[in-house]
A and B are shown apart, each in its own frame.
Chain A
Amino acid sequence: MRSVPVAWCFVAPALLVIVVFFFVPVVAALALSLTDFDIYALADGRNLRVVGLGNYAQLLQTPLFWRAFGNTLYFVAVGVPLTIAVSFGTALLLHSRLVRFQAFFRTALFAPVVTTLVAVAVIWRYLYNPHYGLLNYALGRIGLPPVDWLGDPRWAMPAIILFAVWKNFGYNMIIILTGLQSIPEPLYEAARIDGASTWRQFRHVTLPMLAPIVAMVNVLTVAGYFQLFAEPYVMTQGGPLQSTVSVLYFMYEEGFKWWNLGSASAVAFLLFVFIFAVTVLQLRLARWEYAP
């Protein structure tokens, strides 16, 4: 094999970027979260004080932080199962042998995933318009009263969830569809020879074969949904009555609106630790459930 320096020439540029602009900042975020770095320290480093776990203690006593945490949990707890259910349903439809124009439908259902989040959030804000929006018009046509989707604190988060399902379900759909296509046909043949109905084939062949993929999709979606930010930023600015302030939205305002950068780092770290814990928990559960 080749001499050492040549290999380093290839790998060093990328490693340097990742270390300087990712690893160092991550470590620095932990350090920063233990200081009172604010707009005065931004102007002059001598105003910086180490406050230990002060930021964390302060956050846990801040009602808006808990509000943001609760809102984000709501978004994840309702949004993830809904998204995966729609992904799963559409993947099954696409996989059906009866489908015509499968490629067209797959592309159409996947399209929202590649669109620009901000742009489609602007569209949906308009769809949700209480006076001229298509959604209330459709509700009216089937005899339901109009809803002030983004103006009512009870409806704002469900509206954002509905939008997120529309935007994201195609991603999981493609992965689940690929999983469906990779289930060996002989398994179904064997089940049919044993006289299993379509439902029993689904229950005893499709579901168990697909379980690891659904578990993985679940982990990815949960981690992604905890990072809710642009949707409330564009559609509601966290309102009404702070009903759509997410953890990252809170972090953004804390850090880049009020310049409490120490506190913002603490928020980011808490979110990371929480996502990490939830991910580990899900992987444990998945292993326990699907262990051979």
Chain B
Amino acid sequence: MIPGLAAALVNGLLVGSAAITLLPLVWMLSVSLMSPGEASAFPPPLLPSRPTLANYRELFAHAGMGRYLLNSVVLTTAVTLGSLLFNVAGGYAFAKLRFAGRDRIFKVLLSALVIPAQVAMVPLFLLLKQLGLVNTYGGVIVPALASIFGMFVVRQYALSVPDDLLEAARIDGASELRIFRSVIVPVLRPIIVTLAVFTSLGTWNEFMWPLIVLNDSDLYTLPVALASLSREHVQDNELMMAGSVLTTAPVLLVFLGLQRYYIRGLMLGSIKE
């Protein structure tokens, strides 16, 4: 084939696929800026005739969007910080500290990765009900405080930390807690950032478990609230698109800013099998 033609074909196909991929997201943004009812027309308008923020105002004023946004931010922050602490400490111990049954326990954990989370959901609900955590932030936070995957990626990364580094600190008389804080955490920084990005996006987007454990609409996260609103407001397309923008824009922005770390987490995740 003529080189110029091949290049045009490859780049043309990519432009086409990227356009199809981005179209729904761009359209969401465009429709969210239309006045109520404007999008219910044929042919569908591509751009708002007079862009307005009325839908966003309506969501905050009458649909309780501020509350849902707050719930999502609080839960995502709590789960991310808490699980980082637990997983980094655990993953480090599995890599660098000695304790009875360490490798056997780790093998059991790894093989449990094949069990889908949904298998545990019914008994987990009953357990949390006993603990009084159903319909509280705790119902989402507590079960997510540690994850096998999180410990696994930290362990893999920590394995490459030289033992000499730890021994030197120990000879200097540093306590294990101090070694963890001043030696390990700085060395593990890249994987900690990766895990933070992965966990926060995952928690923000999570749907099924918050849907089950949070029944009080005051506690809904954005995805749960959006699903519920979209059943009520089937015809209010402009309003629903504004809700979708508010729900998905934060994760897209975080991803765009920290892409490098996210892609690395994805590669680590795919190796877990």
Contact = CB atoms under 8 A, between A and B. Distances in A.
Contact of B21 (A108, A171, A251): A108
A32 B125 CA distance: 12
Interface stretch (B52-60, B95-103, B186-194): B95-103
Given A10-B180, A276-B114, A122 B230 contact: yes
A17 interface: yes
B120 A22 contact: yes
Given A108-B22, A117-B223, A126-B241, A2 B176 contact: yes
Nearest to A163: B24
A65 to B, nearest CB: 16
A21 B86 CA distance: 14
Contacts of A8: 99
Contacts of B259: 107
B119 A123 contact: no
B96 to A, nearest CB: 9
Q: How large, as a class, is the contact surface on chain A?
A: 35 or more
Interface residues of B, number: 96
A4 B42 contact: no
- SS of B interface (majority): helix
B89 A117 contact: no
Given A11-B99, A22-B120, A24-B123, A132 B237 contact: yes
Interface in A114-141: 114-120, 122-127, 129, 131-134, 137
Interface string B9-30: 0110110011011111101100
A13 B89 contact: yes
A2 B25 contact: no
Interface of A: 1-2, 4, 6-11, 13-18, 20-26, 28-29, 32, 90, 93-94, 96, 98-100, 104-105, 107-109, 111-112, 114-120, 122-127, 129, 131-134, 137, 166, 170-171, 174-175, 178, 216-217, 219-220, 223, 226-227, 229-230, 233-234, 237, 248, 251-252, 255-256, 261, 264-265, 268-269, 271-272, 275-276, 279
Interface of B: 3, 6-7, 10-11, 13-14, 17-18, 20-25, 27-28, 31, 39-44, 86-87, 89-90, 92-94, 97-100, 102, 105, 109, 112, 114-127, 142-143, 145-148, 151, 170, 176, 180, 201, 204-205, 207-208, 211-212, 222-224, 226-227, 230-231, 237, 240-241, 243-245, 247-248, 251-252, 255-256, 259, 262-263, 266-267, 270, 273
Q: Which 4 A-B pairs have the closest CB atoms?
A: A14-B90, A28-B123, A25-B120, A7-B97
